[in-house]
Copies of this chain bind each other. A is one copy, B any other.
Amino acid sequence: MTAEMTRPELGVCYYPEQWPEAQWADDARRMRELGLDWVRVGEFAWSMIEPAPGRFEWDWLDRAIDVLGAAGLKVIMSTPTAAPPRWLVDKHPEILPVGPDGNVRKFGSRRHYCFSSPVFRGEAARIAEAVAERYGTHEHVAAWQIDNEYGDHDTIHSYSPAARDAFRDWLARRYGDIGALNTAWGTSFWSMRYDDFAQIELPNQMVEEPTPTQLTDFLRFSSDQVQSFNRMQAEILRKHAPGRAITHNFMNQNEDFDHHAVGADLDVASWDAYPLGNLVHGRLPEADKQRLLRHGDPDQPGFNHDLYRGVGNGRMWVMEQQPGPVNWADANPAPADGMVRLWTWLAHAHGCEMVSYFRWRQAPFAQEQFHTGLLLPDSTPDRAFAEIEEVVAEAAALPALPPRAPSEVALVLDYPSRWALSALPQGRNFRAGHHALDWYSALRRLGIDVDIVGQHTELNGYRLVVAPDLVMADAGFIKRIAASDTKAIFGPRSGSRTEAMHVTAPLPGAGLAPLIELRVTRVESLPDWHSESFLMGNASHAARRWRETIESDAEVLATFEGAYREGTPALVGNDRARYLATLPGDEGLRHVLEDTLRWAGVDTLPDLGPDLRLTRRGNVTFAFNFGCEPAAAPAPPEATFHLGAARIPPAGVAAWSET
């Protein structure tokens, strides 16, 4: 095996500016003794670095980096653009973002900038350049993070004058002349015709919804603004910090910008993993949430590992790993003891190169004082500390593993398709992010490893592409599948809209030609209090929220039951692709996907149940028990266990090689 072999690396987020300098050295020593390799600093330090316009105070940060580096830690330095100083807001109040209610959002927390403000772009470039010049080639600075959590606090969509002007320019570039915009937006519909790009306004505070093309264009524009803002900083860092890995810490669940597009300008994608808050706000029924309250959705972290591994072109870090209770969810339970260890090994198994915990010490002041860390506010170890010690000890015994091999199955997450669904949901309960996680979960219960990809990914090697919601199927992507040996299955609404957010001609589903011929002649969104069913083989399964009437030359593999249009196809397929015309419940989705995997030549395991998950890295199989009861590792009798044993306790991990 030629691939580079790695051991799990660990890190932590640290804010020297928040602690007395006298404490730094001891902190650094304890980090290193714990076994940490990395420390992230600086992402909110602008006002400490530049306390007044043009007056820089580098000394404290120089010393902090020296102390950390001297202790043996590699520093991830950040550009501090997520938190512009008060003096900058005073000087240029027009950098502030404007909410959908038309009100300027005030200084006093973070992310108080509009991506479209040319003034802010200039200031961001200036501070990024200053920091990059200072530390770009510093011996202890081994990587760079740009800004922090794009999209947090709903900050991608700004309705400021700057955003309006930039949107007009973006439209002028996209459409060239106003007639093309009128055609695309369908302004003949309600007398909405424009004579000039200067007449166009942002799509907030309207009498009724704007055209979905206007809305989709605004969502695209807003994503492009993030992409270009990030690229500007990436270019500055490449110039001043050669050879250092550049990353951004993405927020999972945020769909307001194209993570693949931003990832293309990075060396590594990192993401911030907070499984318990995601459970509380997440997709699962209440009974599952109760059972998993302190364990989290078994598929949410894996989904994001697989997503950001793709966003980072194979290189992925967790920049912020939840170490205990957090402060921001509707309810903030604690992880069961053992879960921090489980999440760390899960990340490693999914190909993560480095797991960094947020944060070193719980802050006794400011907004996040209920957010735990590795240390309590009094510097004594909190629970996660001991679990990391355990991970470090175990890591020494585990063989080094190669980068994660490509999976046989690729699941498509296409951000423009999500924007299309957001612009025209058609049903109040249609939540594409939840549905895609349901599909992922069904695959994972069958023991399948999954890559999560965009439409521009190379297909080589995938046996099956799974596209739960590919509304805006890219013609090139469909053609590449058709020209390959890869098979595909599409969820409802796939291939139903053009790039201009029009219905595909002749009918929805046409976007999937030439893979599969399909005419969607009717769609229905269904309320949560109603359920339909479909028949596949002898099994009847629930169909919820969405149902289509389709016509197709392809074979009918499952049919709807009940009084309404009984016998119309629920699942059709030819030898290249399948199309599912509804959203099944868990059981039905597993049935459909199990049959589809078999058809695509992908081996499955018997259902692992709701709480056990397997994944493979190199020749090691990892098993994770998210449940409350012990589980049996599906390992062969002759397996060599590197972690745990055949009986996996709740919140437990096992890892074995087959000999």
Could you tell me which A residues sit within 8 Å of B by CB distance? 15, 17-18, 44-48, 51-52, 80, 83-87, 90, 97, 99, 101-112, 152-153, 155, 184-195, 199, 201, 203-214, 280, 286, 289-290, 293-294, 324-325, 327, 330-334, 336-337, 362-370, 372, 376-378, 382-383, 424, 426-429, 500-503, 505-507, 521-527, 529-530, 549, 563-565, 628, 650
What are 29 A-B pairs with beta-carbon distances under 8 A? Answer: A84-B191, A86-B193, A99-B205, A101-B101, A104-B205, A106-B201, A108-B192, A108-B210, A108-B214, A109-B207, A110-B207, A152-B208, A188-B366, A189-B366, A208-B367, A209-B367, A210-B367, A211-B366, A211-B367, A289-B530, A330-B429, A331-B527, A333-B524, A334-B549, A369-B424, A377-B506, A377-B507, A378-B507, A382-B521
Contact of A47 among B184, B191, B208 (CB under 8 A): B191
Which chain B residues border A377 with CB–CB below 8 Å? Answer: 503, 505-507
Number of this chain's copies in the complex: 3
Give A102 Cβ to nearest chain B Cβ, in Å: 6
Pairwise interchain contact B429-A331, C-beta atoms closer than 8 A: yes
Which chain B residues border A333 with CB–CB below 8 Å? Answer: 524-527, 530
Give A283 Cβ to nearest chain B Cβ, in Å: 15
C-alpha spacing A542/B367, complex, angstroms: 31
| A502-B365, A563-B336 known; A103+B106 contact, CB < 8 A | no
Pairwise interchain contact A109-B188, C-beta atoms closer than 8 A: no
Pairwise interchain contact A90-B199, C-beta atoms closer than 8 A: yes
Give A113 Cβ to nearest chain B Cβ, in Å: 9
C-alpha spacing A213/B366, complex, angstroms: 7
| A18-B188, A521-B376 known; A502+B195 contact, CB < 8 A | no
Give A393 Cβ to nearest chain B Cβ, in Å: 23
Question: What 20 new A-B contacts, CB under 8 Å, besides A51-B193, A83-B190, A110-B207?
Answer: A15-B188, A80-B191, A90-B199, A105-B205, A106-B205, A106-B206, A108-B201, A108-B203, A186-B366, A189-B367, A211-B365, A280-B527, A289-B527, A330-B429, A331-B525, A334-B522, A364-B503, A365-B501, A372-B522, A378-B507
C-alpha spacing A324/B107, complex, angstroms: 48
C-alpha spacing A87/B90, complex, angstroms: 37
Which chain B residues border A565 with CB–CB below 8 Å? Answer: 337
Contact of A194 among B86, B188, B363 (CB under 8 A): B86
C-alpha spacing A628/B111, complex, angstroms: 55
Which chain B residues border A86 with CB–CB below 8 Å? Answer: 192-195, 199
Contact of A109 among B105, B190, B424, B650 (CB under 8 A): B190
For A528, give the chain B residue with the smallest CB separation.
Answer: B331
C-alpha spacing A87/B370, complex, angstroms: 49
Which chain B residues border A526 with CB–CB below 8 Å? Answer: 293, 331, 333
Pairwise interchain contact B105-A563, C-beta atoms closer than 8 A: no
Interface of A is mostly: loop
C-alpha spacing A48/B186, complex, angstroms: 13
C-alpha spacing A205/B153, complex, angstroms: 12
Pairwise interchain contact A336-B104, C-beta atoms closer than 8 A: no
For A379, give the chain B residue with the smallest CB separation.
Answer: B506
C-alpha spacing A195/B366, complex, angstroms: 18
| A17-B188, A207-B112, A525-B332 known; A367+B107 contact, CB < 8 A | no
Contact of A102 among B84, B103, B366 (CB under 8 A): B103
Which chain B residues border A108 with CB–CB below 8 Å? Answer: 192, 201, 203, 206-207, 210-211, 214
| A289-B529, A367-B209, A506-B378 known; A334+B564 contact, CB < 8 A | yes
C-alpha spacing A90/B200, complex, angstroms: 11
C-alpha spacing A530/B85, complex, angstroms: 42
Looking at A85, A191, A523, the one whose CB has the most chain B CB atoms below 10 A away is: A191
Which chain B residues border A80 with CB–CB below 8 Å? Answer: 191
Which chain B residues border A210 with CB–CB below 8 Å? Answer: 108-109, 367
Give A560 Cβ to nearest chain B Cβ, in Å: 12
Which chain B residues border A383 with CB–CB below 8 Å? Answer: 522
C-alpha spacing A267/B115, complex, angstroms: 55
Give A142 Cβ to nearest chain B Cβ, in Å: 24
Which chain B residues border A523 with CB–CB below 8 Å? Answer: 325, 370
For A185, give the chain B residue with the smallest CB separation.
Answer: B366
C-alpha spacing A563/B290, complex, angstroms: 13
Which chain B residues border A214 with CB–CB below 8 Å? Answer: 108
| A109-B208, A369-B502, A427-B332 known; A193+B650 contact, CB < 8 A | no
Which chain B residues border A15 with CB–CB below 8 Å? Answer: 188-189
Pairwise interchain contact B207-A426, C-beta atoms closer than 8 A: no
Pairwise interchain contact B213-A365, C-beta atoms closer than 8 A: yes
Give A15 Cβ to nearest chain B Cβ, in Å: 8
C-alpha spacing A562/B52, complex, angstroms: 54
Pairwise interchain contact A332-B524, C-beta atoms closer than 8 A: yes
For A88, give the chain B residue with the smallest CB separation.
Answer: B191
Pairwise interchain contact B365-A330, C-beta atoms closer than 8 A: no
Which chain B residues border A506 with CB–CB below 8 Å? Answer: 377-378
7 nearest CB pairs, A to B: A186-B366, A186-B365, A378-B506, A364-B503, A189-B366, A83-B191, A109-B208
Pairwise interchain contact B191-A48, C-beta atoms closer than 8 A: yes
Which chain B residues border A207 with CB–CB below 8 Å? Answer: 97, 105-106, 108-112, 153, 155
Which chain B residues border A289 with CB–CB below 8 Å? Answer: 527, 529-530
Which chain B residues border A628 with CB–CB below 8 Å? Answer: 563
Give A45 Cβ to nearest chain B Cβ, in Å: 7
